[in-house]
Amino acid sequence: MKIIRTLPSMTAWSERLRREGVTIGFVPTMGALHDGHRSLIRAARLQCDALVVSIFVNPTQFSPTEDLAKYPRPIAKDRSLCRAEGVDVCFEPTAQAMYPEGFQTVVTVPAITKLWEGASRPHHFGGVAVVVTKLFGMVRPHVALFGQKDYQQAALVRQLVQDLNLGVKIQIRPTVREQDGLAMSSRNVYLNTDERMIAPWLSRALRAGKQAIEGGMKDGAAIERSMRKTIEQAPAIQVEYLALCDPDSLEPLTRFTRRAVILGAIRIGSIRLIDNLLVNVPGGKNRAR
Ligand code: AMP
């Protein structure tokens, strides 16, 4: 496995392979790799000739009060996971190279990022949009894989690629979970034993919402109440949002007659967790709030 740290060498490697007709797959990450990342890497490996994984803790998607400095960076472990999964290139650019003095471009995808994570973390999606655009420019992949775990991010990337004609096929892969339902996340290492015990209540609440919809409940407010009631059984959880939304626009829905996504974010102490579930309801059309 090759480790590439400079931007021009990354682009040169990709350009050479593209000229040879090689299909390049790409999995962008912030490292601290777990089985969720592994599932993206494996899916990419199966469908591409060459595979690039980037490991870059992108400073511009953290606000000054967030966890940039303490974000886990187990680089040796990450590299060995990549090696074991047959990754061809681990791309590890530096923040200095990515954002040299004078960098000024902003990339905004306003409607999709207005609500939910965008409302809670106003800096976040601007940083994501810029870094994804830059990484695509350097890695020049044919296909890039993202996790459903970060549903709003995946929606942003799809929109970005479509609007800016970036020419990359985007694939969204299902969320990988721990046995008790907790969505895997690099941030789960912050949870102490007690917090880890209650963390799966977020996925339980989402499942309660999904079951209510599949059981025929159509009233969005009632479904949200039933999810909140489920999560209230867990002590020490603060709900930021539990919302039934249109899966494409992410606008809130009051009635569910077709497809919906249930988005959730909670806080346990200082730790923030997000998760989501897609729900299919046969027949009819969605109506936005
Ligand atoms: P991150 O390192 O957190 O920026 O995530 C890199 C990629 O892995 C993103 O596309 C995430 O959505 C995806 N990802 C993170 N956690 C999971 C998970 N539990 N299951 C599937 N994909 C995930």
DSSP 40-77: HHHHHHHH-SEEEEEE---GGGS-TTSSTTTS---HHH
The pLDDT of residue 288 is 53
Residue 73 has pLDDT above 80, yes or no: yes
Helices marked H in 71-166 — which ranges? Answer: 75-84, 95-98, 117-120, 124-139, 151-163
Give this prediction's pTM: 0.97
Q: Is the CB of 272 under 6 A from ligand 1?
A: no
**CA-nearest residue, atom 6 of ligand 1:** 29
Q: Which residues contact 57 (CB under 8 A, 6 or more apart)?
A: 30, 31, 68, 71, 73
Is pLDDT above 90 for 75? yes
- The better pLDDT of the pair 127, 214 is held by 127
Q: In a mutational test of the pocket of ligand 1, which residue from 40, 91, 171 has the highest number of ligand atoms less than 8 Å from its CB?
A: 40
| Nearest atom, ligand 1, residue 31 CA | 2
More confident residue, 217 or 39: 39
Tens digits of residue pLDDT in 152-192: 999 999 999 999 999 999 999 999 999 999 999 999 999 99
Ligand 1 pocket member 183 (CB < 6 A) = yes
Measured CA to CA, the distance from residue 124 to residue 150 in angstroms comes to 12
The residues annotated with a catalytic role in the active site are: 37
Expressed in angstroms and rounded, the spacing between residue 252 Cα and the centre of ligand 1 is: 24
The CATH number of 186-280 is 3.30.1300.10
CA distance 55 to 75: 8
Q: Which atom of ligand 1 is nearest to the CA of 145?
A: 10
Who has greater pLDDT, 253 or 161? 161
- pLDDT tens digits, one per residue of 90-103: 999 999 999 999 99
Query: The domain 2-173 belongs to what CATH superfamily?
Result: HUPs (3.40.50.620)
Neighbours of 229 (CB within 10 A): 11
pLDDT at position 289 is 53
Is the minimum distance from the CB of 186 to ligand 1 under 6 angstroms?
Answer: yes
Distance CA 234, CA 184 (A): 19
150: CA distance to ligand 1 center in Å?
7
For the chain, the structural domain boundaries read 2-173, 186-280
pLDDT at 235: 85
Q: Which whole-number Å values give the CA distances from 101 to 9, 56, 95, 97, in the listed order?
A: 20, 18, 11, 9
pLDDT for residue 215: 87
Strands (DSSP E) found in 148-286: 169-173, 237-245, 253-255, 259-268, 271-280
Residue in 150, 153, 172 to alter for ligand 1 test, most ligand atoms within 8 A of Cβ: 150
Least confident span in 5-9, 127-131, 285-289 = 285-289
Q: What is the mean pLDDT of residues 222-234?
A: 92
Average pLDDT, the chain: 95
- Residue 285 is predicted with a pLDDT of 59
Residue 230 CA to ligand 1 center (angstroms) comes to 26
Q: Report whether residue 72 contacts ligand 1, using a CB cutoff of 6 Å.
A: no
Q: How confident is the model at residue 199 (pLDDT cuts 50, 70, 90)?
A: very high
Nearest to 236 by CA among 212, 263, 202: 202
Residue nearest to atom 18 of ligand 1 (CA): 36
